[in-house]
Amino acid sequence: MALRISLQNRLTLSYGLFISLALGILALAVNQFTGKVFNRLVRDNIARTSGEIARTLGDQWRPLEDRFDAGAVEAMGMYFVHQGYIVSLEDAAGQTVWDARFCDMEQCTEVINSIAWRMENEYRLDGAFRRERFPVLYNGRTVGAAAIETYGPFFYSETEAGFLASVNRLFTVAAALLTLLSVIISALVSRTIASPVLKAGAAARNIAALHSGAFPRSGAPVRIRDNYRTAELADLSRSVNELAAELEAGERRQKQLTADIAHELRTPLTCLQGNIEAMIDGVFNCDRERLESCHGEIIRLANLVQDLNTLTSLEWENLVLDKTEFDLSKLLRVTADQFRAAAREKGITLNLELAPCLVSADYNRLKQVFINLLSNAVKYTDRGGVTVTLKQEKPSGTPRSPVTVYIADTGIGIPEEDRPYIFDRFYRSDKSRARSTGGAGIGLAIAAAITAAHGGTITVESVVKPGEAQDFALGGGTKSPGVAPGGAVFCVRL
């Protein structure tokens, strides 16, 4: 099995390596830059010192004797040898006054060899002694020439070497401290990033265990902090919280669904059981009226089971559409005619705003959609009316032109908190389960599934505040004709 590294350790390692590498590159660059500047200063110092040596030798001229003070020149030459400068002096006639390389003192040779060894072995400077001649002047008159040899391209004196060693030690200590600091900062940063991720993972596992029944509920919802300043962490935490909220809402809806199914089955079964037991006990006569009552409840159960089968086939994408080309306005007119008697009986109007519109769809399935929508519209409207409007985005009338059907009513409306769920199975905004309006809460779910199978959408808008007139836009700037408070507009786009 592959080795797994925690996110925090991975981030710590990544940040640590990155910062250490960056600091190493920075230190190397600074060291190189400092070395170049220091070497340039050393070369300038050598050139300046060589010029001063030539001037100092000029001070040793004795004009009255017309010669150099040999003793002073020798003492000065020995001093300069110890400083890394190999000096030889000639007078104006070219006669050697003093030469460090040919003096009788073994100390000179030892010092020269020591300089070469130190430069090559301690400081890794590959080079050789280089000679440069300088005129020796006395009161502006040339009295001789000095040949000064130095280890080139440059050399370090003991003072300069000590300074360079101190700088290198400083860089080493600073690099070690910065590396340690980078590791600490990396650990803190990685912990800051990894902690919300770990909490989100733990919360997700708790959510899964909670909803799978792995441990009892404590009554408190699973939530984590989601106010992080890092956008991605805040989004991750909010997503986990939204998942928890959605699962809780889904569980509530599942419980409500179970209760609704039990209710829808219990009512007709109770009625059947009561009638049959009464006829068996002789309380009721087994006449046509009782049998028709039992038959009605059986039909109701059969319709409920059929609706559930239809919805299941739609939701599992097993529906095969029998598409043909037909005029949608004629389908809407035929469907609306089925509800004119019910509308007249309730004293409401049923208005149609239709124009010929060819579509390619399953005639019977679409008719089922509009039957369900019109049935609800008429059922929940007690005054005002229902308006069916058909609109086509392209006036050409081609079969591929998108069309929209609006079914607007002036009924009781749909509360805002119920709108996201009205297309769920068995969902009813009428929590009292009053039977005056009938229905099992499956019609809208079937309508939504059939519309989706056609590649379309179905949405709803509603007004429920008393005293407000319905004023829904139906596209193209037109408004629904309702004037009574409340109402709903279902919009089917195909």
CATH of 7-169 given 3.40.390, 1.10.600, 1.10.3470, 3.30.450: 3.30.450
Higher pLDDT, 124 or 334: 334
3-state secondary structure the chain: CCCCCCHHHHHHHHHHHHHHHHHHHHHHHHHHHHHHHHHHHHHHHHHHHHHHHHHHHHCCEECCCCEECHHHHHHHHHHHHHCCCEEEEEECCCCEEEECCCCCCHHHHHHHHHHHHHHHHHCCCCCEEEEEEEEEEECCEEEEEEEEEEEECCCCCHHHHHHHHHHHHHHHHHHHHHHHHHHHHHHHHHHHHHHHHHHHHHHHHHHHHHHHCCCCCCCCCCCCCCCCCCHHHHHHHHHHHHHHHHHHHHHHHHHHHHHHHHHHHHHHHHHHHHHHHHHHHCCCCCCHHHHHHHHHHHHHHHHHHHHHHHHHHHHCCCCCCCEEEEEHHHHHHHHHHCCHHHHHHHCCEEEEECCCCEEEEEHHHHHHHHHHHHHHHHHCCCCCEEEEEEEECCCCCCCCCCEEEEEEECCCCCCCCCHHHCCCCCCCCCCCCCCCCCCCCCHHHHHHHHHHHCCCEEEEEEECCCCCECCCECCCCCECCCCCECEEEEEEEC
Mean pLDDT value across the chain? 77
For 90-108, the pLDDT digits (tens) are 888 888 888 887 765 566 6
**Predicted local confidence at residue 153, as pLDDT:** 62
Q: What gap in Å lies between CA 320 and CA 407, rounded to an integer?
A: 26
Residue ranges matching CATH 1.10.287.130 in the chain: 231-315
Answer for the pair 187, 13: CB distance below 8 angstroms, yes or no: no
CATH 3.30.450 residue ranges for the chain: 7-169
pTM, entire model: 0.46
Confidence of residue 486 (pLDDT cuts 50, 70, 90): low
Express each pLDDT in 176-197 by its tens digit: 787 777 778 777 777 777 777 7
Cβ atoms of 211 and 255 within 8 Å: the answer is: no
Of the two residues 236 and 62, the one the predictor is more confident about is 62
Which tens digit of pLDDT belongs to each residue from 416-455? 888 888 887 766 655 543 444 445 567 888 888 889 888 8
How much is the pLDDT for 473?
Answer: 39
pLDDT band at residue 471 under the 50/70/90 scheme:
very low
Both tokens assigned to 431: 């929590």
Please check the confidence at residue 481 and state whether its pLDDT lies above 70.
no
- pLDDT of residue 480 exceeding 80: no
Task: Render pLDDT for 135-168 as a digit per residue (tens, 0 to 9).
Answer: 989 888 899 999 988 876 656 666 666 776 777 7
Across the range 335-342, mean pLDDT stands at 91
Q: Which CATH architecture has domain 231-315?
A: Orthogonal Bundle (1.10)
> CATH: 3.30.565.10, 3.10.20.30, 3.40.50.300, 1.10.1040.10. Which one for 323-493?
3.30.565.10
Q: Among candidates 257, 302, 307, 320, which has minimal Cα distance to 447? A: 307
